[in-house]
Amino acid sequence: MRVGFIGLGSQGGPMARRIIEGGFGTTLWARRPASLEPYADTGATFAQSPAALAAASDLICLCVVGEADIEEVISGEQGLLAGLKPGSVLAVHSTVHPNTCRSLAKKLGSKGVSVIDAPVSGGGPAAAEGRLMVMVGGEADVVERCRPVFETYADPVVHLGELGSGQTTKLLNNLLFTANLGTAATALALAKSLGVSPERLTEVVSRGSGNSFALNVVGGEASLDRLAGLAGTLLQKDVRLVVDLAERAAASAGAVLDAADAALALMDHPR
């Protein structure tokens, strides 16, 4: 399988390198030529446009930030759509609304192109070590065709069901993480008010039943205000998307959404 990769950021870059090192013929494209320089010593080919990348690839992996970036890469005379071939697959690694992936599938289906959603979790270091989590939605046979590529940078690769289910799962995960951030930050602030060192509380709780990934994030070196600068905007985007999903499904998610909103408020106005 020939692979095209777009989105060589802090997470996408290591993913692309793992694909190359896994022995797959790989084509890269980036808006900024400087983003391609780290791959000059690899066997990767550099495309002049997204269309040229699509024409050279059986699987195209998108790891851009959001919907607007996907639309920019897909559209135009030199966009992916102009070069996609029947039988190829577009994998959306970006975290976006499930309906974005469904709309892409409708648009590309007439060209005989399959779409799967495959958002990832774990960050750049996990990608470099081949232990990202990939949450995949789409037709089972298409997912299995792509699995060997995904397994170069991910363990596990979890197929969750139909198209969009990977995005829904990733958004729910991020909702819980955001809500847990608020709970952890509040507990640490309360500890300080009660005369208990937040650092010592983190050390104790990290080995107890109250442990959580969020507590270790805000109780360690990455304080909530620092995290806000790194990921606050992305978490806000994801919580808004979950709100839309819940409203469309007429589902009750009040308590966890309230907790997530409280966490986002703390990021905007840290104590």
- For the annotated catalytic residues, the residue numbers are 170
CA quadruple 165, 89, 23, 50: dihedral, nearest 10: -110
CB-based burial of residue 102 (10 Å sphere; 0-12 exposed, 13-18 middle, 19+ buried)? middle
Rounded CA-CA distance 129/234 in Å is 24
**Spatial separation of the C-alpha atoms in residues 36 and 44, rounded to whole Å:** 10
The tally of CA atoms less than 13 A away on the side-chain side of residue 233 is 4
Alpha carbon distances (Å) from 45 to 6, 24, 49, 75, 144: 12, 11, 12, 22, 25
Residue matched to tokens 């729910």? 172
3-class secondary-structure state, position 160: strand
Preceding omega of 33 cis (within 30 degrees of 0):
no
Give the Cα separation of 48 and 33 in Å (integer).
Answer: 10
**Residue owning tokens 């990733």:** 170
Selection from 152, 195, 143, 179 nearest residue 264 by Cα: 179
Residue written as token pair 């399988």: 1
Among 75, 90, 111, 87, smallest CA distance to 6 is for 90
